[in-house]
Amino acid sequence: MMRKNKKKELQRELSRRACMKKFAKYTAVTALGTFVLLSPKKAQASSPANPGGGF
């Protein structure tokens, strides 16, 4: 019974440590922020429009 309790306690501790490790990793990496890569238009363009006749 004691062994079972100790095993459960150990499992809980490992799980807690894993959680904390994961949280630390999460906060460290996400603290770096994001980046966005944007390209301007290669040429001046007007709004796309197909020609059509009038009536």
Provide the binding-site residues for other proteins, judged by CB under 8 A. Answer: 11, 14-15, 18, 21-22, 24-26, 28-55
The 8-class DSSP code of residue 10 comes to: H
Of 6 and 15, nearer to other proteins (C-beta) is 15
> Minimum distance from CB of 3 to other proteins (Å)?
17
> Minimum distance from CB of 11 to other proteins (Å)?
8
Amino acid at 5: N
> Minimum distance from CB of 32 to other proteins (Å)?
4
Each residue of 15-46: b (16+ CB within 10 Å) or e?
Answer: eeeeeeeeeeeeeeeeeeeeeeeeeeeeeeee
